[in-house]
A and B are shown apart, each in its own frame.
Chain A
Amino acid sequence: QITLKESGPTLVKPTQTLTLTCTFSGFSLSSSGVGVGWIRQPPGKALEWLALIYWDDDKRYSPSLKSRLTITKDTSKNQVVLIMTNMDPVDTATYYCAHKSSGFSAPYKNWGQGTLVTVSS
């Protein structure tokens, strides 16, 4: 059974850096084709894709946020970390991590429950 869970601060101040951790089980991020992505959803709004990291450390970012995002993995801990710098109130959203099983041709089949991050002073 594949599970993912996001963790991190629920409240950050404007200009601060957000660090979110996705801890997963049921798959290995060292297996060929496997990827973990981050998606966010502001309250009442649509889903927005942020970043993705593959088993071979290939990383992809949303062009509009690329300068602010860093995605890394720790295979031994079964974790993926997303760092977002210079947080702004418009970044208030529920942040999800999700699993991709077989590279480019796979959808995001398994999702975490999401974690709500509020940006406010």
Chain B
Amino acid sequence: DIQMTQSPSTLSASVGDRVTITCRASQSISNWLAWYQQKPGKAPNLLIYKASSLESGVPSRFSGSGSGTEFTLTISSLQPDDFATYYCQQYNSYPNTFGQGTKLEIK
């Protein structure tokens, strides 16, 4: 299995901040990486696919980058609605593993 490691596990930030979450794969996954946002009691919501492609309807303050084994999700200016948990997922090979999640909290 490909292991996906996110950092940090928890991130405290304020509205308006620029934040970056990192996801590392245990082996190369090319750019077959997705980022999801999940709010309590809700299903995950796709934000970014193919490492850097913004899903339709997702605000442009979200961006993704990376390839191979290292990837980042950046939120350029945090909004109140962005406080949630974020997961990366590789879909280069099976099982399509997820990172352990990054909880973005209000400072």
User: A residues near B, CB below 8 A?
Assistant: 37, 39, 46-49, 52, 60-64, 96, 104-109, 111-114
Contact = CB atoms under 8 A, between A and B. Distances in A.
Q: By CB atoms of chain B within 10 A, which of A49, A64, A104, A106 has the most?
A: A49
Contact of B96 (A49, A64, A109, A112): A49
23 contacts: A46-B100, A46-B101, A47-B44, A49-B95, A49-B96, A52-B94, A52-B96, A60-B94, A62-B95, A63-B95, A64-B1, A96-B43, A96-B44, A105-B32, A106-B91, A107-B89, A108-B34, A108-B44, A108-B46, A108-B96, A109-B49, A109-B55, A111-B45
Interface residues of B, number: 24
A47 B91 CA distance: 14
Nearest to B56: A109
Interface string B16-47: 00000000000000001010101000111110
